Structure 1
Amino acid sequence: MHTTQFVESYFDAWNHRDPKGVADHLTADGVYCDIPQNVQRSHDELINSLSIFFKKFRHRYELVGDILTNGNTLAFQYRICPLGSNGNSKPAAPVNGAEFMALNGNGAMTITDYYDSPDEALSSRPASIAPHALQINKYAKSGLSAQQLLDYKDRLKQIMHVQQAYLRPDLTLPKLAEAVNCSVNHLSQVINAGFGMSFFDYLNQHRIQHARELLRKIDDHNGAILSIAFTVGFNSNSAFYAAFKKCVGQTPAQYRRAQNSLSH
């Protein structure tokens, strides 16, 4: 589906208050990420959340400005104009924000929602953010535009994927920001809004992916797990095990045994 048609279809589903229509823009294993509230929802979880939300609130969803694209990533700004809760004639203040989508085929692997709104408008957000509705958006005055976010994100991917900066055991957020040539605050926002995770989770994701490749190639006799931990940038075996278990759901030894059994 063409990018413009995809976004138009997405807005159409929101304006028709169609929970399944919104969620169906995700791939089967896609995730919707609410960055300011640190909430992630799967396809079915998003349907359940929006079903409750649409029964309680009525809004008009508007695209603001152009749709920006960079590879398989697209971004756009939006405005939500609340029409008032059912039975409530006084609408809340508008909500402004931006969404970032990582596409795969005809669906989005991630839909990342980044918004900045007055406190009184936050009560009209979906149920997923209700517990922290009065939090102030920590990115409210960052000054980072959607186009800058895409540019920094593309530069960051180059540094991480091609230059493999994650292999450096001394890599920190300030050092990575220097490599990307942006401020620490902006890089933190890029990682949170663009990838739906913290700096440490983003860093560990790359390290663990590299470790998985090494564990598939090297058997018990030719590569110690501790050696692999240091190779991919970890400073300790315990940190490696904790990060691997969080990302993969198995310990490195369990993962290696499982991979070896599949190859025989």
Structure 2
Amino acid sequence: MGHKHVTDQYLEAWNNHDAEAILACFHPDGVYIDANLDDEIPASLFALRAQELFDCFPNMTVTIEQRNVQGEGLVASPWRLSGVLPGKELSGVDMLCIRDNKLQSVQVYFNHSTGRLFAKVPSLHLNYQPHQSDVKEHDVSDSAEKYRTSGLTMAGMQSIQQTLETAMVRDKVFLQPELSLSRLADQLSMSTNHLSQVVNSLYHKNFYEFINHHRIAFAKQLLAKDHADDHAQPQTSLVLSLESGFRSTSTFYSAFKKETGLTPSEYRQRLIMADETEC
């Protein structure tokens, strides 16, 4: 691939029907995110699914329209796909999150008609598997029975809680987009069972609700900071979601609405209205 920019490498890999080259464009922990389905898969699985598409559609070609740099490391790449369905051209936009000339994530948005076609044609599907973060833990109401034999005392729970609060407030570990229960437990040198017990029992949330609570609080701080700076350009929802630790804007929107009862745009408008009221 020489010294080409990763955006050119990625396009070339698609048009060469080279799944290995597609994978080589990603960081080892890179992901592909379908914003329409609110789903994501690791780059390794995405490359396998891309190979399936190449096998099904040997004449498939991708054309990129003018790319648009959205911010540091973010590129919007509008695309058109031909050679898939007779007489039809598919289109959408890839949001490329780039770090050190490698793809950290690719988030795809289909236009309306393309999204409907993808839903109707099984051979276009990427056969997603649910991401670990989408797997719900047991209801909090079951926590007492669930942890009855854990052996963790109240003093032990409070000690873990203090460690957890330090990790959230001082270290802001919730900004790690790949954070999971097991990863955090490893970082804090404790068992996943004990960490889960503290989150369920003391915060009355499952792990991802707990993490998203902190991410949304951070996003609200970013919105307030933007609002206070008259010269600042309002951040897009994609930038807000990535800077707050989310992997996709759809997950960010859902979590923000669940936490605040408002969309990010509505929350921003409330800040403006509050200033006008004070004046």
Q: TM-score, normalised by structure 2?
A: 0.46
Q: TM-score, normalised by structure 1?
A: 0.48
